Amino acid sequence: MHDRVFKHTEAHKLEDPQRSQWLPPAEILQHLRLSQGMRVADIGAGTGYFSIPIARAVGATGHVFAVDLQPEMLDFLRQKLGRPEAPENVSLHPGKASQLPLQDGSVELVFYANVWHELDDLDAVFREAVRILIPGGRIAILDWRDDCSPPPGPPQDYRMAHGAVMSFMVAKGCDEVVSKPVSRFSYIVTAGLRPLHLGR
């Protein structure tokens, strides 16, 4: 695990009440086009900051696959899911973004929240996203703006400009590639899969 990965020992920062002020989940979810019954892979789920609100948005007939590289993060999320008010449609999966522990064609949306800049082999990450997505599925990448200085967020030289993320998706043959600034420090890039990906 390299230095860019947000460590589980810092998990308390993900639960800081101030975070909901400058990164409100409701604002982010508006860009995900969620619907009842939808299946979503939350890659780099951490403490479930987005997994839980996504699970509520997709309802009891939907499902969230929370994937994280660090088992300690999933242990934290497991504790939260044990609370009486927690949604019951979240499953926990230890694994890497470049080698996902999910079945082919199992989700409609793959969501990466503040982890895209941490990933080394983006080609392998993209192939895995395509593999687990259904035909017509979508990818959403939330990450830190490179024109905002920390804190919050990672060092400036770790960040990836939204234009670079868009160019990557376009080069991979995605369509409907859109980037929008969200909250105070972030952007979100969304992209759809064209028919050319169906043969994988």
At 136-159, the pLDDT tens digits run 999 999 999 999 989 899 999 999
- Over residues 28-48, mean pLDDT: 97
| 67 and 45 Cβ atoms separated by less than 8 Å | yes
Decide if pLDDT at 125 tops 50. Answer: yes
pLDDT of residue 10: 79
pLDDT of residue 64: 98
pLDDT of residue 17: 79
At 170-196, the pLDDT tens digits run 999 999 999 999 989 999 999 998 765
Decide if pLDDT at 85 tops 50. Answer: yes
Confidence of residue 199 (pLDDT cuts 50, 70, 90): very low
d(CA 28, CA 76): 22
- In Å, the largest CA–CA distance within the chain is 45
Q: Where are the domains positioned within the chain?
A: 8-197
pLDDT of residue 196: 58
Strands (E), 73-174: 90-94, 107-113, 133-144
User: Cβ atoms within 10 A of the Cβ of 200, count?
Assistant: 10
Confidence of residue 102 (pLDDT cuts 50, 70, 90): very high
Decide if pLDDT at 2 tops 70. Answer: no
pLDDT of residue 1: 55
pLDDT of residue 195: 63
* Cα R_g (the chain), whole angstroms: 16
The pTM (predicted TM-score) of the whole model is: 0.94
At 43-70, the pLDDT tens digits run 999 999 999 999 999 999 999 999 999 9
CA atoms 33, 39, 42, 47: torsion sign: positive
At 6-30, the pLDDT tens digits run 778 777 778 777 888 899 999 999 9
| 130 and 197 Cβ atoms separated by less than 8 Å | yes
CATH architecture of 8-197: 3-Layer(aba) Sandwich (3.40)
